[in-house]
Structure 1
Amino acid sequence: MITVDARGFACPEPVIRTKKALDVAGTDEVVEVLVDNEISLANVSKFGNDAGAKVTTKKVGDGHFRVLLELGESRSSQKETDQRTIAVIDSETMGEGSEELGKVLMKGFVYALSQLDVLPDKVLFYNGGAKLTCTGSDSLEDLQYMEGEGVEIMTCGTCLDFFKLKEELSVGQVTNMYSIVEAMNSADHIMKP
């Protein structure tokens, strides 16, 4: 049995830790995941079901849960493709309603993006998204990791100029709108938070 203690971690960390455990688990092995909130319980359970595992959950204390993922022969696995995927990020926040929550969600999105089995070919940043590639961004470590793995990180130069951030660019390279449009046009898949 492999035990993953994901207590105290916010989304998407419990799912990412679960995924890493499933990746190394053998056929017919059990992965035990410990979580401390119902959102993580639901997310890990859904991920396990999607991965083809038999999922059993149990409440083990006040707000604490145990998720057992039993793997079998029919377990699904993600296959690498030769299709070009890019991610486009046009804001330093994700969604609408709360700017503070939006920043937390965007940080989680960039982190989750960096943990995919198959990373995107490029990540394009424009408008407010350009701020994520600059000094002080909470996402720099994840972006630098992806760049080190061969992902092209490209930030709109006009946007950096507009926000007076050209000297603050800390990851990737400056690009232009034609290159952004060309990259989007040649992509097989475009991911956008």
Structure 2
Amino acid sequence: MRNKIVLLLSDQLGQGDRGLGQTVLETFFVLLKQQEEKPAAVFCMNRGVYALTDQSLASVHLKELADAGVPVLACKTCVEFYQLADQLTVGEISGMNYFLELAGKHEVLTIS
């Protein structure tokens, strides 16, 4: 995972039952934070920015990744669209330019 960027596009994993998708996403981040090699960054776009709020159980695990030195980033345009700037509990707001810079240096693992 060390040379990968996790691109999170939703606040759930998969398109089935919403509750199940949120649980599966939380499990993904629980397991990811336990890996010896952490990703280079986690970048959240579209509804993925909700995972950085108290509305998502994944936010706890994303905070632990951030505390372990993994940059956790939120798409500025998406945060503004969903009006979540004051609700983010983890992560930093970032722009598409930085995502493109990261994507140019690392493989992108898309989670949707």
* TM-score, scaled relative to structure 2: 0.90
CA distance in 2, matches of 1:97, 1:136: 19
Post-superposition offset of 1:156: 0.5
Return the alpha-carbon distance in structure 2 between the equivalents of residues 167 and 181 of structure 1.
Answer: 25
Q: Distance in 2 between matches of 1:176 and 1:96?
A: 26
Between the aligned partners of 1:141 and 1:135, the Cα distance in structure 2 is: 8
Higher relative contact order (CA 8 A, sep 6+): 2
What is residue 44 of structure 2 aligned with on the other side?
125
Q: How many residues end up aligned between the 2 structures?
A: 111
**Separation (CA, whole Å) in 1 of partners of 2:74 and 2:64:** 16
1:180 pairs with one of 83, 87, 99? 99
Shift of 1:85: 1.8
* Deviation of 1:161 (Å): 0.8
d(CA) in 2 for partners of 1:93, 1:136: 11
Q: Which of 55, 58, 67 is residue 136 of structure 1 equivalent to?
A: 55
For residues 49-60 of structure 1, the aligned pairs below 5 Å read: none
What is the CA–CA distance in structure 1 between the aligned matches of 2:63 and 2:18, rounded to whole Å? 24
Kindly indicate whether residue 105 of structure 2 is the aligned counterpart of residue 192 of structure 1: no
What displacement does 1:114 show?
A: 1.0
Please tell me whether residue 162 in structure 1 is matched to residue 81 in structure 2.
Answer: yes
As a proportion of its length, which structure holds more strand?
A: 1
In structure 2, how many angstroms separate the alpha carbons of the residues matched to 1:191 and 1:115?
17
Assess if the C-alpha contact under 8 Å between 2:40 and 2:71 holds in 1: yes
Describe how 1:30-179 pairs up with structure 2 within 5 A.
84-179=3-98
In terms of fraction of residues, the more helix-rich structure is 2
Kindly provide the CA deviation profile for residues 9-58 of structure 1, in whole angstroms up to 9, marking residues without a partner as x.
xxxxxxxxxxxxxxxxxxxxxxxxxxxxxxxxxxxxxxxxxxxxxxxxxx
The DSSP-based 3-state class of the residue aligned with 1:159 is: helix
- The RMSD of aligned alpha carbons is 1.6
2:4/2:39 contact within 8 Å kept: yes
Q: In 1, Cα distance between the equivalents of 2:100 and 2:46?
A: 14
Gap regions ≥5 residues in structure 2: none
TM-score (norm. length: structure 1): 0.54
Give the 3-state SS of the residue equivalent to 1:111 in structure 2.
Answer: helix
Q: Percent identity?
A: 24
